[in-house]
Amino acid sequence: MFTHSKADLQLYIRRRYLVLVLGIIIMFSGTLLATSVQNGFGSIAVTEVDFQAVDGSMIHSTLQKPNYATDIDPLPGVVVIHGSQQNKEWVMAFGIELARRGFVVLTIDANGHGNSDPGTGSGTAALDYIASLDFVDNTQIGLIGHSMGGGIAWAALNESSVYVRALVLVGSGFRENVTYIPNTLLATGNFDSLSSYPHEPTLLDPVFNVTGVEPETTYGDFATNTARRAVFPSTNHLFETTDPVIVSESVEWMKNSLKGGVEDEHWIASTSILYPFWLLGGLIGLIGALLTIFPLIAILLDTPIFSSLKGSPTDEPATRKSFYLYGTILGLIGIITFFPFLAVGLLIARVVPFPTFYGLAVVAWILGSGLVALIVLFIILRTKGKGDSQNASPKLREILGTKDQKPVPYLLKTLVLTLIVFVWLYLLTLLIDLGLVLDLRCFLPGLHDLTLGQARLVPLYFVVFLVYTLVDGAWLTGIMLPESSGSWAKVQFNWTVKSVFIKTIPYLILIAFEFIGGFLAGAPLVPHMIGYSWLFFYAFAPWFAICTVITMFAYRVTGNRWLGAMVNAILCAWLLASILGLSW
């Protein structure tokens, strides 16, 4: 039996701490890049502010104030509002680019989203708040709303006493029975599944006051607040808020509406954009934070309290044919069950009160697909056992069990270790949020601090995701365990790469069909609400990849599926709780 020398053991331990430190360095490097872009490399003061809506709900927001904005020389103000199941970071590209060019920008979490309370009136409260600031010219106020945020913007126009001179509707549309229509830019992706404007621009004729609206043509006059313009770049509903054409057009629109088209000494060409570096910094920061999970788990497993969780894999690897066959089956289960279970969840939500929008729909899919995968796994194992009498196939209870460990103490220790990992990541998230006014994310949902309303749902989501991640782990490290040989690192790398590929490829194919197909066709291939629901795959696919990496690592160091399942379940529960908007 191979034994480590004292020097080897010290090197082995030292590597863990080096990887932990490396992860922290990567995290801070990325977040420092992101915060530098967000604060204009020191030229913009960025703070988080809270204010109250008329119904008493607290509205959370990010305020970006150019350093030269004063009560003597106030600057125009712009309120930016995100869409459904999003938060303020989703539309931060507008805040970054506008603040760099001499606008005070207030980017809010709408009611029930991000860190804002459930309720109504977030847009109105935001307009009233920004107009009350002494360094803001309250006669030059603009609004930007994406999707649902466009509807909130219209409500604010009707309800607030603040006069809005510029409106940008991103992936949204016009409303009837409004008090007035300011200078308005409509910016919608040409394969946005929720909009008819890109392919029926004549729908805009009544509000543009012309016959035969042409895209990329400005109608009316900025001075009289009758200016209108429509742009339809090649993108979908999800990516409209980071589309460079839409961001640049929005910047130009605010300049022409709120600054009289004047380009002062602070002005930067609207096509010179920096926000992609904010996205890059967020991605690097998130990768660094997640990287710290692995050495932390390894360090904890070497402590006396958790050392009993350590073990080695004992499962026989799958043949190449079996790996791809079972991987295809697992992928099809996730895809085929998506819309049916989503529909079941939406039907249940009609009769069962639930505090989050789409919460029961997502729960139904995760739990339903997990149970279907469990049943199919049971059938496969039973069939294999009958077909090979000489080599007994492992039973389901053996795959999902704790081997020679007593279940209750083992699972309790695993849960405690999982909670330590969660607390560690949450503290890193709070540190970045409080210190740098950032989330650990790259556009798509990442690690975000929780409100009490969101936190109460984490235990429920944890149980639901635990079923899914445990069954998923049983597939990936059981009947689908890839063949590999060589050093520890080589085997782990092969396991991880192959498993991430087979887990995510079905969803990546669907994403490619929706995005690349829509891009080439110049129209949505999956229209209306089905197309909108399709966008969930964009959020889930990257986290399925992350969870698969954790699954393969945890299985390698414990020889068991439970640690990976619990860590993944708590991460996904946290993620879902922070994404879905609260209704109460």
Q: 3-state DSSP call for residue 556?
A: helix
- 234 and 353 co-located in one domain: no
Would you state the pLDDT for residue 397?
Answer: 80
Model-level pTM? Answer: 0.95
Q: Which two tokens stand for residue 462?
A: 């944890």
Q: 3-state DSSP call for residue 166?
A: strand
Crossing angle for the helix pair 122-132 and 148-159, to the nearest 10 degrees: 60
In a domain, 29, yes or no: no
pLDDT tens digits along 403-431: 788 999 999 999 999 999 999 999 999 99
In a domain, 321, yes or no: yes
Would you state the pLDDT for residue 398?
Answer: 79
pLDDT tens digits along 34-44: 999 999 999 99
Q: 3-state DSSP call for residue 475?
A: helix
Q: Which two tokens stand for residue 190?
A: 């040409």
Q: Which residues contact 13 (CB under 8 A, 6 or more apart)?
A: 302
- 234 and 368 co-located in one domain: no
- 134 and 231 co-located in one domain: yes
- 194 and 323 co-located in one domain: no
Cβ atoms within 10 Å of 347's Cβ, excluding its own: 13
- 133 and 241 co-located in one domain: yes
- 257 and 348 co-located in one domain: no
Q: What are the DSSP calls for 453-470, one per residue?
A: HHHTTHHHHHHHHHHHHH
In a domain, 487, yes or no: yes
What does the pLDDT average to over 182-207? 96
Would you state the pLDDT for residue 301?
Answer: 96
Rounded Cα–Cα distance for residues 583 and 419 (Å): 28
Would you state the pLDDT for residue 1?
Answer: 34
Q: 3-state DSSP call for residue 453?
A: helix
- 197 and 317 co-located in one domain: no
In a domain, 101, yes or no: yes
Domain count, the chain: 2
Last residue within a domain, chosen from 232, 263, 294:
263
Residues above pLDDT 70, as percent of the chain: 96
Would you state the pLDDT for residue 388?
Answer: 58
Q: 3-state DSSP call for residue 139?
A: strand
In a domain, 492, yes or no: yes
For 517, counting Cβ atoms within 10 Å of its Cβ (0-12 exposed, 13-18 middle, 19+ buried), the class is middle
pLDDT tens digits along 248-282: 999 999 999 999 999 999 999 999 999 999 999 99
Q: Which amino acid is at 574?
A: W
Would you state the pLDDT for residue 443?
Answer: 76
CB 80 within 8 A of CB 95: yes
With CA atoms as reference, report the closest residue to 572 among 367, 284, 411, 396.
367
Per-chain mean pLDDT for the chain: 93
pLDDT tens digits along 497-549: 999 999 999 999 999 999 999 999 999 998 888 888 888 899 899 999 999 99
Banded model confidence at residue 387, pLDDT cuts 50, 70, 90: low
Say if residue 144's pLDDT is above 60: yes
Q: Which two tokens stand for residue 565?
A: 């399942």
Q: Which two tokens stand for residue 15?
A: 């590597």
- 410 and 518 co-located in one domain: yes
Cβ atoms within 10 Å of 38's Cβ, excluding its own: 26
In a domain, 432, yes or no: yes
Q: How far is CA 273 from the centre of its chain?
A: 22
Q: What is the DSSP letter of 187?
A: E
Distance set, CA 208 to CA 150, 212, 221 (Å): 17, 9, 11
Half-sphere exposure of 364 (CA within 13 A, CB side): 19
Cβ atoms within 10 Å of 318's Cβ, excluding its own: 18
- 355 and 470 co-located in one domain: yes
- 543 and 484 co-located in one domain: yes
Strand ranges across the sheet with 58-66: 44-52, 58-66, 104-108, 75-81, 136-146, 164-170, 183-187, 228-231
With CA atoms as reference, report the closest residue to 360 among 504, 457, 445.
457
- 130 and 51 co-located in one domain: yes
Would you state the pLDDT for residue 4?
Answer: 45
Give all strands (DSSP E) within 171-290, no chain letters.
183-187, 228-231
With CA atoms as reference, report the closest residue to 437 among 148, 147, 35.
35
Banded model confidence at residue 383, pLDDT cuts 50, 70, 90: confident
- 385 and 476 co-located in one domain: yes
In a domain, 567, yes or no: yes
Domain enclosing residue 388, as ranges: 312-579
- The CATH number linked to 256 is 3.40.50.1820
In a domain, 458, yes or no: yes
CB 76 within 8 A of CB 144: no
